[in-house]
Amino acid sequence: MAEDEGIRPHNHRPSLKSHTSFNNYPKWKDKLRENCYKRVREDRTRLLWKLRLPKPNDQLLNHKNLIKSTFQDIVSDELRKIKDSSLNSDCGVPTFGTAANDVIWEYDGLHTGYQGDCEELLLEMQRIFYEDLRTEESLKEPENFIKTWEDEEDEYLAHAVYEHMQLNDEQVCKEVWCPLCKQGELEENRCLIYCNRCGLKLNRSDEINLDLLRTRLAEAHAEHLDRGCRLKPEFCVETRFELTALYIKCQGCDIFEESDFYST
């Protein structure tokens, strides 16, 4: 059997069995679990945004698949973090490379020797996710409610981010809410992109149109979220270097970026 393995082509996917340090799993399993459970709570808002506007077909199945896929990504990500951290020398963390690490979820889930632990971990992450949601809803009071990206007044944000992730025009609404007043809708004609409520006006051209603005707004929100900031960003129109443009800003992370859309 060893001889057969010795003559296998070099491009054959390596077996997890070849990583002997992976057998030290019990030594750092608790740390992996702790990190994954913490991430479930920290990333709950991001996952809720993805679930808020479900696909029209088989909503329940799509939700389950999305949740499972998200939690699998968390486990793989935390595994990499542990491997790359200073805990390596203390916890007996395996040192196999990224390619082998990526194989974890592709190799029939985890290797059969650890698949049970993995499934148990994923189930516990799902339990924490739903339990925290129920607890949060039962304890939430107006005076204790901190304004974050989950605010009702910022429902347009969830739409924008979801549309950006979907990348499918047939499954998303065409409305684009005004980033300034958050009350009106953006419309366009041959020369302008404008709000039908607050009077925001942006220059329009063949290359710069409402579809591009929709995408750019979603990208701006997603990039801000990826920075780890949970405060609500704001948009404003300011003049810099003799150019008046739409900017996104946030007091929490000091972001101030131009959207590439210029005002009249």
Beta bridge partners of 258: 247
What are the backbone angles phi and psi of residue 191, rounded to the nearest 5°? -115, -25
* CA-closest candidate to residue 164, choices 116, 211, 228, 207: 211
pLDDT at position 197: 84
DSSP sequence for 239-255: EETTEEEEEEEETTTTE
Structural domain spans, the chain: 13-144, 152-262
Nearest residue to 109 (alpha-carbon basis) of 101, 96, 118, 100:
118
- pLDDT of res. 236: 84
Question: Over the chain (264 residues), what is each successive 10-residue block's mean pLDDT?
Answer: 47 43 56 81 73 55 74 81 60 46 43 58 77 62 45 48 46 68 84 86 82 81 74 80 79 69 56
Can you give the pLDDT at residue 142?
45
Q: What pLDDT, on a 0 to 100 scale, did the predictor assign at position 60?
A: 58
Q: Report pTM.
A: 0.37
202: enclosing H helix or E strand:
strand 201-203
Using CA atoms, how far apart are residues 148 and 157, in angstroms rounded to an integer? 11
